Amino acid sequence: MGIGMEEKILVTGGAGFIGTHTVLQLLKQGFKVSIIDNLDNSVEEAIHRLRKLVGPQLSQNVEFHLGDIRNEKDLEKLFSQTKFGAVIHFAGLKAVGESVAHPMRYFDNNLVGSITLYKVMAKYNCKKLVFSSSATVYGQPDKVPCVENFELTAMNPYGRTKLFLEEIARDLQKADSEWRIILLRYFNPVGAHESGMLGEDPKGIPNNLMPYITQVAVGRLPELNVYGHDYPTHDGSAIRDYIHVMDLADGHVVALEKLLEHKDIGCVAYNLGTGHGTSVLEMVAAFEKASGKKIPIKLCPRRPGDATAVYASTEKAGKELGWKAKYGVDEMCRDQWKWASQNPWGYQPKPK
Ligand code: UD1
pLDDT in tens, the chain (352 residues): 445 456 899 999 999 999 999 999 999 999 999 999 999 999 999 999 999 999 999 999 999 999 999 999 999 999 999 999 999 999 999 999 999 999 999 999 999 999 999 999 999 999 999 999 999 999 999 999 999 999 999 999 999 999 999 999 999 999 999 999 999 999 999 999 999 999 999 999 999 999 999 999 999 999 999 999 999 999 999 999 999 999 999 999 999 999 999 999 999 999 999 999 999 999 999 999 999 999 999 999 999 999 999 999 999 999 999 999 999 999 999 999 999 999 999 999 888 8
Can you tell me which atom of ligand 1 is nearest the CA of 206? 23
Rg of the chain over Cα atoms, rounded to whole angstroms, equals: 19
Residue-level pLDDT at 7? 80
Residues with CB under 6 A from ligand 1: 94, 96, 134, 136, 159, 188, 207-209, 212, 224-228, 238, 240, 280, 303, 305-306
Asked if residue 228 lies in contact with residue 297, where contact means CB atoms within 8 angstroms, the answer is: no
Distance (Å, whole) CA 25 – CA 8: 14
- Residue 158 is a catalytic residue: yes
Sign of the alpha-carbon dihedral angle for 28, 29, 35, 41: negative
* CA-to-CA dists, residue 244 to 37, 228, 298, angstroms: 23, 24, 26
Q: How far is Cα 45 from Cα 9, in angstroms, rounded to an integer? A: 21
Beta strand segments in the chain, E:
8-12, 32-37, 62-66, 84-89, 128-134, 180-186, 188-190, 224-227, 239-240, 242-244, 267-272, 278-279, 297-300
Residue 282, exposed/middle/buried by CB under 10 A (0-12, 13-18, 19+)?
Answer: middle
Closest CA to 44 of 349, 331, 348: 348
Which residues does 192 contact at the CB level (< 8 Å), separation at least 6?
21, 198, 199, 200, 245, 335, 336, 338, 339
CA-nearest residue for atom 18, ligand 1, is 226
The reported pLDDT for the residue numbered 6 is 61
Measured in Å, residue 28 CA sits from the centre of ligand 1 at: 31
48 CB contacts (<8 Å, ≥6 apart)? Answer: none
Secondary structure E strands in 239-306: 239-240, 242-244, 267-272, 278-279, 297-300
Atom of ligand 1 nearest to the CA of 158: 11
- Alpha-carbon distances of 336 from 26, 181, 192, 291, 309, rounded to whole Å: 21, 31, 5, 9, 23
Identity (one letter) of the amino acid at 105? R
Rounded to the nearest whole angstrom, what is the distance from the C-alpha of residue 302 to the centroid of ligand 1? 11
CA of 208 to the centre of ligand 1 (A): 5
Q: Residue 27 contacts by C-beta under 8 Å, 6 or more apart in sequence?
A: 33, 54, 58, 59, 61, 62
Expressed in angstroms, the distance from the first to the final Cα of the chain is 49
- The phi-psi region of residue 294 (left if phi > 0; otherwise alpha if psi is between -120 and 50; otherwise beta) is beta
Instruction: Give pLDDT, residue 1.
Output: 44
Distance of CA 284 to the CA centre of its chain: 22
Indicate left, alpha or beta for 132 from its phi (over 0: left) and psi (-120 to 50: alpha).
beta
CB 14 within 8 A of CB 33: yes
- Which of 161, 306, 311 has most ligand 1 atoms within 8 Å of CB, for mutation? 306
Going by alpha carbons, the residue nearest to atom 14 of ligand 1 is: 94
Nearest to 234 by CA among 300, 276, 279, 286: 279
8 A C-beta contact, residue 246 and residue 191 = yes
Length of the chain, please?
Answer: 352
From 158, 212, 231, 270, the catalytic residue: 158
